[in-house]
Structure 1
Amino acid sequence: MAGNVIVGVDGSDTAFKAASRAAELAESLDTELVVLSAHITGNTEVVTIGSDTYVLDDAERALAMAEQVATRLRGVHPAVKIRPAAGRGKPGDVLIEEAQRNGAQLLVVGNVGIKGLGRVLGSVAWSVVHNAPCDVLVVKTAR
């Protein structure tokens, strides 16, 4: 089976649980794992603290968060090639676009515990399950 495994992360513990399962699968499939974070806006903010000035960019922050998750996963799964990535848009859309662009074989998402009609599957999981160009694994991450 060709193609990589893609997992969506948002910095939460539940997303890390899904990412850990995705790393296990990528290792068993001997394929690359893409750790993907989405950012909704393309905002850039300049913050001055004392004499220091920082430029905070949504895309850079999303990529840095994906890199943090990738670094943690590399510690547990050193044999897996793990690539952090970030994309602009709604998380479900970003995951689907990345899967299409790279010919992914599997998308992995968590099922976060939300209220109302969306409690069966989170809105990202629902969107991915119904629109993905490849197989999807929804990891039970809700308590």
Structure 2
Amino acid sequence: MSGVVVVGVDASASARKAAEVALDLAESLGASLHVVTGFESESAETFGSGSDQVTVFRGDSAQHVAESLGASRPGVQVTHFASRGKPADSLIKEAIRLDARLIVVGNRRMRGIGRLLGSVANSVAHNAPCDVYIANTYED
């Protein structure tokens, strides 16, 4: 199988785990990886401490993750895209645009009260134009 694997990310550790799973899947399938960030409003998060701080804007998350994943596995073509809108809608639109074979999402907000509030994974699973892989990103 070749084609495109699409993964949704934000600046969270959970999304980073999902992206790493997506990279493994893309490599094993001989596919390229397309990293997508969907955001409803632009905001920033600061990581690090002291003079080693970096500010990451939501729209930049896809680029940062894509660059680090591409550097770790040069055999896999990694691209990125940021889209203003609901994250699930952004993933689905990109999957349609690229005729993706697979969408990978993390399982954040699929337990406890988060299930009542809704999750990106749930929304994508119900509306995706292709297969969906929900990566376990919870800590044991």
Deviation at 1:117, TM superposition (A): 6.0
User: Is 1:3 paired with 2:3?
Assistant: yes
Kindly name which structure, 1 or 2, has the bigger radius of gyration based on alpha carbons: 1
CA distance in 2, matches of 1:117, 1:65: 22
- Identity of paired residues, percent? 46
Deviation at 1:76, TM superposition (A): 2.1
TM-score, structure 2 length as denominator? 0.80
User: Is 1:104 paired with 2:92?
Assistant: no
CA distance in 2, matches of 1:31, 1:2: 4
Deviation at 1:122, TM superposition (A): 5.5
Aligned to 2:75: 79
CA distance in 1, matches of 2:95, 2:114: 27
Matches within 5 A, 1:1-143: 1-41=1-41, 61-113=57-109, 115-116=112-113, 118=115, 123-143=119-139
TM-score, structure 1 length as denominator? 0.79
Q: Structure 1 unaligned runs (5+)?
A: 45-60
CA RMSD of aligned residues (A): 2.3
Poorly superposed stretches of 4+, deviation over 6 Å: none
CA distance in 2, matches of 1:81, 1:122: 32
Aligned to 1:54: none
SS of 1:36's equivalent?
Answer: strand
Deviation at 1:33, TM superposition (A): 0.4
> Contact conserved, 1:110 with 1:141, CA < 8 A, in 2?
yes
CA distance in 2, matches of 1:127, 1:105: 17
